[in-house]
Amino acid sequence: MLLRTLLIVSVFLINGLSYGQDLDFSNAVIIPHGNSERLQKYATILHEELTKRVEKPFPIQTKAKRTQSSILLTQFEDIPSLPKNWRKLLNEVQPMPDEGFKVIIDNTSTNPNAIIIGQDDRGLLFGIGHLLRKMNWAKDQLLLSKAIEKSSSPKSPIRGHQLGYRPKTNAYDAFTVDRFDQYIRELALFGSNSIEIMPPRTDDDFTSRHMTIPAIDMIGEQSRIADELDLDVWMWFPNMEDDYEDPQTRTIELTQRKDVFASIPRLDHLFVPGGDPGDLEPDVLFDWLEEVATKLHRFHPNAKIWVSPQVFKPTKAWFDRFFYHVNQKYDWFGGVVFGPWVKIPLPELRQLTDASLPIRRYPDITHNLSSQYPIPEWDLAMAMTLGRESINPRPIDQKTIHNSLAQYANGSLSYSEGTNDDVNKFIWTDQEWNPETEVIETLRDYSRFFFGPEWTDAAANGFLAEEKNLQGPLLSNTSISQTLAQWQDMEKRADAKLMSNFRFQMGLIRAYYDAYIQQKLLFETQQEQKAQNALHRAEKEGSLNSIKVATAFLNEQMADPYIAQLKHRCLELADALYNSIGAQLTVNPHGAASGRGNFIDNLDVVLNDAPWLLANLNDIKKETEEKQRLEKIAQLLNRTNPGPGGFYDNFGQGKSWERILKPIEWSQDPGGLYGPRESFGVGLRGQEWVHEIQAVGFGGTATPLAWMNQVTTLYDTPLIINYDQLNPEVSYKIRIAYTGRFRAKMKLTTDDGHLIHDYIRTGIKPLYEFELPASSYSDGNLVLQWTCSEGERGSQVAEIWIIPNP
């Protein structure tokens, strides 16, 4: 008993609460009061969540004994029908906004009582969630503090997340019905009032080896679960065919939609993206949606259809017709969705949309790159290895992204492809409830609720540390070793139950992974430098000997046992996550979709220029003359040398970004619709979009790492780069490396109107050279401006040389 009491005391001190403030509810009973059909469901949720943690039952009763504390659950409208003693206590409670709640801790009697009052069904559920998030407990012990008393209601009416049961996701397709039930419950307990599901047919395979039941059955279960909690059900339903003016196509598609709508018990909103996938002209799109609405309302008469202006190659004409239809305010139309690949910034979208129509955000919280909100100033090695869809807690960034644009929308349902973005989901939910909530408060709630009170601060700060791991140059990031030490300390103290908790496993694997990649980059950077040093000695020691030595350095593998152990632990934790929730972090053995959540497959990706150097050295060896070999080695070593008085920039390096015009700060434009952003990947392998960030392209040949980063502006936003200190008396030429997946048609001019080159289709070859007009830098300053033709996706530049002519 003494040991247990000491544990409880230590838990409360960790959480910043003195032991004397806490009231013992270990013998409490749950008393639901009212007429709501969901009241018993909510009481059962509270009972189950308390029992899991405290490991003792909390009975549901109609009243408490004199020796028992009670947790009363009721709604505002049911207060008048409470027994007299409760009414007296609650006679000053006032009505709350929709979905609001009030939590009261009453210590006026011998046995304390907790009272949770909801303005409505949802408010009661959210009040229960507040108590569960803030309470302290240990085995057989539950204590509540007066400090958790709160009256609160949500700022945004739309708060939710996408839970698509489809093969492309990194975990959802392995979820059972029970797993979805628990996951949806947990989102609701943190304030979510909506989920978004997907039809069986999307831009994906129809099934996967992980699926426990057919998709058509699972979406019915997801809808049922949400309805039992009184959560809104949205469905993302893309247009997958090419010709919706064809009557036969429409008949087939309408039949498919009828079958889907009939299979789910609740559907409040249908979200149809304007593109990605789908490529319809607005007149056709809205005419088609009117037919869809007829089928929808047969089964869900109050459901509305929402549309996003997503289109890969947008034109003014397309948007003119889109907003014409939006502002007709058709009876079936619900509102506009702002998501990835919407060209128009949200503030402008709000102006173009009738003020009476709501806007829902569809934030991409799941992807790191090639996404709506890419990680700013991200190191190439991290992009190559963590990739597009790794485990990615970004709590500070997510709050910034949310708050920067929250005033222009009515809330959000996130774009999610699995559990990798789990922390981000809870940050967004809390910010939609109250954008003034500090990130650390959400992370403490998250850690306390999912791991236990003793982990509140340790885990919360561990997730913050993992976000710091993503920031700035990897080689000099001192946060990474500290982050690993923090998580290893938690790992040593964790019991078997915590070690099997998938959320804890996700935090742990990222700490090990980041540390391993940093060590690997350090080793490979050193080996590349040794190889270059050997090549610099070629004239003295002979080209073939230097090539042999350089090749050996480039092919040498790490042999440090410590680094090998970091990698081994990553593989162990990937298996553990697969076993705990079916998370697919590798293609083989875990069955991930390639280029999605399989970042563990990238543990062995080469992080230096070895592939490109080795390919070139192999070609140089074939030369028969020593002079030719030496000349080509010199060219290899001097690839980035612009010559005396010249300039060179690699836009994968922070220093070069000082030349780029940034009209607005990242915190105000996190999606990069007004200014530049960083992109990754050479992006050229025929016409295929290569998800993996690899140094291959232009026919599959090895390319320099420098071609894997680009400074990018989206659509017709100009890309402006400044040079100074040019000599007006010298003539120059400019060499440009155009790489990146957009392959856009671009034009380059100077700020004073000189044409460097007219529109050219990039992606055919990497390097272009042009003469610079002397009048464009007559004052020593050169301002370069790239623009795209209408309908293109954006301008991308990897490298620039400004080379003095002989």
| Per-residue pLDDT band at 692 (split at 50, 70, 90) | low
* Cα angle 248-252-255, degrees, rounded to a multiple of 5: 140
Domain span(s) for CATH 3.30.379.10 in the chain? 2-152
Domain range 642-806, CATH architecture: Sandwich (2.60)
Tokens 């503030």 appear where? Answer: 347
What sign results for the dihedral spanned by CA atoms 620, 624, 630, 632?
A: negative
Collect all residues with Cβ–Cβ distance below 8 Å to 430 and sequence separation of at least 6.
190, 191, 437, 441, 442, 445
How many Cβ atoms sit within 10 Å of the Cβ of residue 692?
15
Which tokens sit at 371? 């996404």
User: Right CATH number for 2-152 from 3.40.50.620, 3.90.550.10, 3.20.20.20, 3.30.379.10?
Assistant: 3.30.379.10
pLDDT at 653 over 80: yes
Q: Where in the chain is the domain with CATH 2.60.120.260?
A: 642-806
DSSP string, 7-72: HHHHHHHHTT--GGGEEE-TT-EEEE-SS-TTHHHHHHHHHHHHHHHHSS---B-SS--TT--EEE
Tens-digit pLDDT profile for residues 430-483: 999 999 999 999 999 999 999 999 999 999 999 999 999 999 999 999 999 999
pLDDT value for 375: 96
Give the pLDDT band (50/70/90) at residue 764: confident
**What are 328-346's pLDDT values in tens digits?**
999 999 999 999 999 999 9
Q: What is the mean pLDDT of the chain?
A: 95
The Cα 438–Cα 444 span in angstroms is 10
Per-residue pLDDT band for 296 (boundaries 50, 70, 90) equals: very high
Concatenated DSSP letters of 681-716? ----BTTB---S--SEETTTEE--GGGGEEEEEETT
Using CA atoms, how far apart are residues 163 and 221, in angstroms rounded to an integer?
Answer: 12
Question: Looking at residues 38-55, what average pLDDT do you find?
Answer: 98
b/e map of 247-257 (b: 16 or more CB within 10 Å)?
A: eeebeebeebb
Q: List, for residues 113-158, the tens digit of each pLDDT value.
A: 999 999 999 999 999 999 999 999 999 999 999 999 999 999 999 9
pLDDT band for position 206 (cuts 50, 70, 90): confident
Between CA 528 and CA 526 the distance in angstroms is 5
Confidence of residue 205 (pLDDT cuts 50, 70, 90): confident
Backbone angle region of 791, left / alpha / beta, with phi > 0 → left and psi within -120 to 50 → alpha = left
Contact 53, 9 (CB under 8 A): no
List the single range of 132-141, 686-695, 708-717 with lowest mean pLDDT.
Answer: 686-695
Give the pLDDT confidence of 554-563 residue by residue, as tens digits.
Answer: 999 999 999 9
pLDDT, position 20? 46
Please report, for residues 89, 769, 806, the alpha-carbon distance to residue 641 in angstroms, rounded to integers and kept in the order given: 80, 15, 15
Q: Which residue, chain included where needed, has tokens 């301008």?
A: 795
Q: Which residues contact 595 (CB under 8 A, 6 or more apart)?
A: 387, 388, 690, 691, 692
